[in-house]
Amino acid sequence: MSSKAITLVEVGPRDGLQSEPEILPTASKVEFINRLIDAGIRRLEVASFVHPKRVPQMADAEALIEQLPDRDDVSYVGLIMNERGLDRALETKVDEIGMVVLSTDTYNRKNQGVDIDESIRVWGEISQRARQNGLRANVMISSAFGCPYEGEVKVERIVELAERLIEAEPAELGIADSIGVAVPGQVTEVLGRVREVVGDLPLRCHFHNTRNTGLANAQAAVESGVTYLDASVGGIGGCPFAPAATGNIPTDDLLYMLDRSGIETGVSLGKIIETSHWLEQELGRDVPALLPKAGMFPAGSQKTA
């Protein structure tokens, strides 16, 4: 691997919980996030500002964020879909906002109710307003490797979207495999082509393990020079608006791979595994991640205190 340090962006409190059938109490979500911070996570997606009828798991976004600790070394990210979402985010203490634009019109309409051109227009306005209000503004191209409704997505399509989206000056550009169809060769090709048009802009990748290729894709992204990788403790979550899009890559399993490969993250694998076990108790069932079952190697190799 060519990179020596990667920042993990923990998406369990948002992308993880929003797709699980259980709705955790706000107090449990606060404890979840505090555990993640204690483990060394410094960027977290904590909530999405969407209509509670569409995503009831996120109905307590403002109440949750109000109870989070004020930390200069931690950045809280809120996901938004439109200007109403930004209005809500600006009333909280989130540090960043993230917006998603889908790779196809069909999926974009199902996810956000408008076509891609409208989402790009709205993103431009949101980015400007967010930055004027002191927030970091990020955008992600979702379903970048395949669409559940339109099938294959050409690399040229993703490059075109990247060119249009960076006109609004995001702090970073995300590339997401929202339905878990990518393979490492695709990841390398897409990131290489996108890098040609975005220059030195930091890239962030978000993979799902739906077809058991998530960790291999994450390694390909690291080798391609990404700065940030998304992951979800225990591997919980997915996308509620894409059929069978289960399986964020587990923070536990990703961290093991990175640690054993000499990639620095500043995150304690032992504490992440402890958090997965705690999450299993909260959800009342096992989580998909393998490290909570298999344990670290060598045993006791990373202290949890």
What letters, b where the CB count within 10 A reaches 16 and e where it falls short, cover 154-166?
eeebbbebbebbb
205 given a catalytic annotation: no
Please name which of 246, 267, 248, 285 lies closest in space to residue 22, comparing C-alpha atoms: 285
**Interatomic CA distance for residues 159 and 173, integer angstroms:** 12
**Which pair of structure tokens corresponds to residue 192?**
């290489």
Largest CA distance in the chain: 52
Contact by Cβ (8 Å): 108, 77: no
CA-based angle 217:223:225, to the nearest 5? 110
Q: DSSP assignment of 132-191, as one string?
A: HTT-EEEEEEESTT-BTTTB---HHHHHHHHHHHGGG--S-EEEEETTS---HHHHHHHH
Q: Return the H-helix or E-strand segment holding 49.
A: strand 43-49
Please name which of 256, 246, 241, 252 lies closest in space to residue 279, comparing C-alpha atoms: 252
- Which of 239, 258, 263, 267 is catalytic? The answer is 239
Q: Return the H-helix or E-strand segment holding 292.
A: helix 291-294
Contact by Cβ (8 Å): 216, 177: no
Three state DSSP letters for 76-120: EEEEECCHHHHHHHHCCCCCEEEEEEECCHHHHHHHHCCCHHHHH
Q: DSSP assignment of 179-203, as one string?
A: TS---HHHHHHHHHHHHHHHTT--E
Contact by Cβ (8 Å): 259, 302: yes
Tell me the catalytic residues: 239
